[in-house]
Structure 1
Amino acid sequence: MKRRDTFRLAAAAAMFLSGTLLASPGLAQDKKWTIGFSQATTIEPWRAQFNKDIIAEAAKHPEVTLIITDGEDKTEKQVADVENLIRQEVDALLVSPKESAGLTGVVQQAIDAKIPVFVLDRNVDTDQYTQFVGGDNKLIGRAAGEYAVELLGGAGNAKGNVVEIWGGMGTQPAHDRHDGFHEFTDKESGIKNLLNEQSGDWKQDQAYNIMANALRNNEEIDLVYGHNDPMAYGAYLAAKDAGREKDIKFIGIDALPAEGVTWVKNGELTATFLYATPGAEGLRQAIDFLNGKKVEKAITLPTERVTAENAEKILKEKGM
């Protein structure tokens, strides 16, 4: 593995040394673990926060050396990263797939090598892993759909034209967020969906282009549902550039303080729903397992709706 693709973190150290964080010999303990974490990408703000959270948690555990790899938003790169971690014979593997199907085979290789595997955020097409940690994307989609119906007139009376901007089509969270949302909106005969599975690949610029095109083709748009906050915000910017942002409600998912929550406070998004990063909890669970504790098959992280009513309070709690 190239040195720039990996940084080793000993939780006792607090600074990078040539891209590697090394364990302090003075903090040696009886049991030491090397844990690998395969991240799908670091270019998305939510993923960057994900990494910060897992690094902060690792700093609390001097017995752990954490190796983090960056899949660079490419399935083939992430597969190679996991293969490399397997060859290094890590004590446990944490993996957050770019694509569920694309990472299933290499995750199975780790399982076959008797490495406990903790799948974070996006699942894989096998249930032989040790544990899954992440939010319930279908539940979050339902919460967004229920709120969309409320914004458009309430159950039984909701009316309006909706633009939905998908995340990656090959990811289970995108499908779950779509399915949960439509459990509520599809019951309303007055709600019309204007687009057919338009993917912004979780990226703001791609969502901007999708929304710009939707604005050109539709005189009336009442609500935008982005599968994450950057896409919802990209849609907002497109509407603002067209002078139509005040006529449209914008809903996103993630609720990072510096992004979604701030955009809600500023009146740019109508609402966002918390999708907590699973890095810290995933690492805690892996350490517990390595220390002989029993872990649950799945841990679901809670969500929260963020609107103008509570956005400022949340920011203050985060020190912002």
Structure 2
Amino acid sequence: MDSQRRLLVAGLAAVPLAGAAGVLGTLVSASAFGQQKKYRFGFSQVTTVEPWRVQFNKDMKAEAGKHPEVDLVIADAGDRTDKQNADMENFIAQKMDAIFISPKESAGLTGVVEKAFKAGIPVFVLDREVNGNDYTQFIGGDNVQIGREAGSFVVKLLGGPGHAQGNLVEVWGGFGAQPAHDRHDGAFSVISKEPGIKLVGERVDCDWKQDKAYEYMKTVLRVNSKIDVVYGHNDPMAYGAYLAAKDAGRDKSIKFVGIDGLPQEGATWVEHGLLAGTFMYPTPGAEGIRQALKLLHGEKIPKKVTLPTQGIFADNAKAYIASH
């Protein structure tokens, strides 16, 4: 009887121990799960006024949302270099695991990018480059190549290589931003070979803005009775120029070319016949998140990632919009 009682007591004692072991196992698992590495990413965006920038942020947030270990903080600089510098300093002070920046201008933000990089924080420069090489990676489209493709399309609109004739207006983006210079250089590496193409209008900084392009185009229309093609460094400016021509009753005689190719914007304007063509300038945010995670997981990443482009014209605009 004593031996049976001892077995029963031992058995009963084993039950809470087994239960405790199960609870302990659960606690260990929960603890291990809770210790999953969280990454804090800071992104200094130059502005959220331009539609391309809004899409840029959406793409970045969507990619970050696929990775529960990523905590993404986006700071809007309000199109001000001083605010963007302050946002970057804040990210450095917070010791972010990675910092992303799409600079308003190259020179004015090179110093703070270098500071973050030398503090040991991976820095990803998106869309617009800074000076020097003190950053982890640059991700963006090849603006010279996109410019070349736009320039070739302008030549085609004016009669083709060796035969092109007509007056061309160029609407500039921000003078302090490298993409504006690259889009000019690329386009005119092709256009300048055509002696029949005459560039009219002054070189004015329209800062990528539709309203500034509208005002600039109003002035150009007043002093030039013949304009054949307008090349805008982005779609909003090409569209602003179109609206000015429309208000002057001259939109039917001018063709408009832009860059960006957002489905709800430039591509739609092409589909509706307002722009003759545009060239996709992909946003780099999603790729930035992917590249940063590769680096933090121990993979080697290249110094530069170039995103592809695509021409959008009357014959493919509808299909392009449907696929996006």
Q: TM-score, normalised by structure 2?
A: 0.89
The answer to whether the 8 Å contact 1:165/1:226 transfers is yes
Distance 1:180 1:196 in 2: 19
CA separation of 1:28 and 1:195: change in aligned 2, threshold 3 A: farther
In structure 2, the partner of 1:97 is 103
Choose which of 148, 161, 165 in structure 2 pairs with 1:159: 165
Question: What secondary structure, in the 3-state scheme, does the structure 2 residue paired with 1:257 have?
Answer: coil
Distance 1:283 1:211 in 2: 39
The answer to whether the 8 Å contact 1:28/1:62 transfers is no
Question: Which blocks of at least 5 consecutive residues in structure 2 are unaligned?
Answer: 1-30
In structure 1, the partner of 2:87 is 81
Choose which of 237, 247, 250 in structure 1 pairs with 2:243: 237
CA separation of 1:248 and 1:295: change in aligned 2, threshold 3 A: same
Distance 2:152 2:224 in 1: 24
Question: Which blocks of at least 5 consecutive residues in structure 1 are unaligned?
Answer: 1-24
Question: What secondary structure, in the 3-state scheme, does the structure 2 residue paired with 1:254 have?
Answer: coil
Amino acid aligned to 1:284: R
The answer to whether the 8 Å contact 1:264/1:311 transfers is yes
Distance 1:29 1:265 in 2: 51
In structure 2, the partner of 1:256 is 262
Matches within 5 A, 1:42-121: 42-121=48-127
Decide which structure has the larger Cα Rg and report it: 2
In structure 2, the partner of 1:131 is 137
In structure 2, the partner of 1:226 is 232
- RMSD (Å), alpha carbons: 1.2
Shift of 1:47: 0.3
Choose which of 188, 191, 208 in structure 1 pairs with 2:194: 188
The structure with the greater share of residues assigned to helix is 2
Question: What secondary structure, in the 3-state scheme, does the structure 2 residue paired with 1:56 have?
Answer: helix
In structure 1, the partner of 2:24 is none
Distance 1:126 1:87 in 2: 23
The count of aligned residue pairs is 294
The answer to whether the 8 Å contact 1:27/1:62 transfers is no
Deviation by residue 1:235-294 (Cα, 9 ceiling, x = unmatched): 000000011001011000000011000000000000000000000001110111011111
The answer to whether the 8 Å contact 1:164/1:198 transfers is no
Choose which of 284, 293, 297 in structure 1 pairs with 2:303: 297
In structure 2, the partner of 1:36 is 42
Moved more, 195-204 or 271-280: 195-204
Distance 1:221 1:99 in 2: 31
Distance 2:190 2:230 in 1: 15
Deviation by residue 1:183-231 (Cα, 9 ceiling, x = unmatched): 0111111111112322210000000001011000000000000000000
Amino acid aligned to 2:321: L
The answer to whether the 8 Å contact 2:113/2:134 transfers is no
CA separation of 1:223 and 1:92: change in aligned 2, threshold 3 A: same
Q: 1:176 aligned to 2:147? A: no
Distance 1:94 1:88 in 2: 14
